[in-house]
Chain A
Amino acid sequence: MNIELNINGSTHSIECEDRTLLVEAIRDQLGLTGTHVGCDTSQCGCCTVHLDGQAVKSCSMLAVQAQGASITTIEGMASGDTLHPVQMAFSACHGLQCGFCTPGMIMASADLLRRHPDPTDDQIREGLAGNICRCTGYVNIVAAVKTAAKMIQQAPANRA
């Protein structure tokens, strides 16, 4: 079937099957490989993207379900050369090692901060319960989210 997907602000017409997963369409048809397939069983969160601003697991959605919605992937978080505050914070706080979980962590963190602009550590950990990291032990990830929260609060124009 032919479907239209609105991704990172532009509309793309793609050819796919009814059973094509959203993550497959994003990676294979659109070449946006920042979104990863980690577990493929809806647990690890490496596939997290935004659907109408909400973090969802793109390995657990059909591409065709996303028709008519606005999707943001990790590639859509920066504004030109300016990283999103969450991206800047993850870099500054060493919130990643191998980087495989990182796009998903950033997408989930951005949605978390939209809902809880000044989160406690517990709220951060609960908000990232759908994202698993094998490298960091999460300490610097939590620090990165707290830092991003401050950055966003101090300069609202940064909220991309």
Chain B
Amino acid sequence: MYPFTYVRATALADVAQRLKADPDAKLLAGGMTLLPTMKMRLAAPSALIDIGRLTELSGVSAEGDGLTIGAATRHAEVAADATVRSAIPALAELAQGIGDPQVRARGTLGGSVANSDPAADYPAAVLGLDATIITDRRSIPAGEFFKGLFTTALASDEIIRSIRFTRPVRAAYAKFAQPASGYAMAGVMVAQFPSGIRVAVTGAGPCVFRWTDAEAALNRQFSVESIQALSLDASGLNADLHADAAYRAQLVKVMAAQAVARLTGTAR
């Protein structure tokens, strides 16, 4: 890594001030994306402000049909949390499938989402469950949050405080993981709300996206066959050493069908 200055934050107000003062500083929560990126010299912040121990940024609370999770809550905590498991089991299952146990011990919800990593799992949950990202200055709906490859609507000094999810009628997440890293080569969240079905896809494109054709088909008939009748345009999907775009398009279909199968009870 290139050299930088490490600062451990003791209060959130302190953090905002420091970010404003140094536009090249970055927040460090779990570091599971940022530190590997810095080790490859793909990022070189001037300073890292460690917010990983700020208690006001972590925790789970449920009110009505909403579930709010602090941005610095670790994946392992979300996966094991009784409130998450009863309110939105698909979210706990998604968290349980991120990376591996060591990564889950450190990685955080906010960090995963703030980076808009094309292979991260949480963006599929945030977009698929129509969540709201609550920052230190505003609330951003999921549909307006993810802008592109590693790009979100966040200002450079903006801090995610928590993410508020709405309980779906039911939801399932299926992913095809790259065997060594555990990253999603295609991860699909299928969620049913009173207003209709949402299908969010991560791992396949430069950024998480909604597969609107699948949503329309599932709204007409919620079945595996509805997915199998579709084809996803591979142009614009990622191609790398793990999979080309055409294979990713196929993986998206298969994972969407698996998620639907789990919800219709026809999963093998």
Contacts and interface: CB of A to CB of B under 8 A. Distances in A.
| Chain B associates with chain A | yes
A108 B99 CA distance: 14
Interface in B51-71: 52
Given A55-B101, A56-B106, A60-B31, 12 more contacts: A1-B6, A18-B3, A19-B3, A19-B4, A42-B32, A42-B103, A44-B180, A56-B102, A61-B31, A61-B106, A65-B52, A130-B103
B158 interface: no
Interface of A: 1, 17-19, 21, 40-45, 48, 51, 54-57, 60-62, 64-65, 67, 108, 111-112, 126-127, 129-132
A42 B52 CA distance: 19
Main SS class of interface, B: mixed
Contact of A17 (B3, B28, B32, B35): B3
Contacts of B182: 129-130
Contact of A61 (B3, B5, B35): B35
Interface of B: 1-6, 8, 28, 31-32, 35-36, 38-40, 48, 50, 52, 76, 99-103, 105-106, 180-182
B131 to A, nearest CB: 26
B18 to A, nearest CB: 15
A130 B36 contact: no
A5 to B, nearest CB: 14
Contact of B35 (A43, A60, A67, A129): A60
B15 to A, nearest CB: 16
A51 B106 CA distance: 10
Contacts of B31: 60-62, 65
B5 A18 contact: yes
Contact of B180 (A43, A61, A112): A43
Contacts of A40: 39
Nearest to B7: A18
A129 B3 contact: no
Given A43-B180, A43-B181, A127 B6 contact: no
Nearest to A45: B102
Nearest to A62: B6
A112 B101 contact: yes
19 contacts: A40-B39, A42-B32, A42-B103, A42-B181, A43-B180, A43-B181, A45-B100, A56-B105, A57-B102, A57-B106, A60-B32, A61-B106, A64-B8, A65-B28, A65-B50, A127-B101, A129-B101, A130-B99, A130-B101
Contact of A64 (B6, B100, B180): B6
Contact of B4 (A18, A21, A61, A129): A18
A60 B106 CA distance: 10
A130 B28 CA distance: 22
B76 to A, nearest CB: 8
Given A56-B106, A60-B32, A129 B6 contact: no
Contacts of A19: 1-4, 38
A157 to B, nearest CB: 26
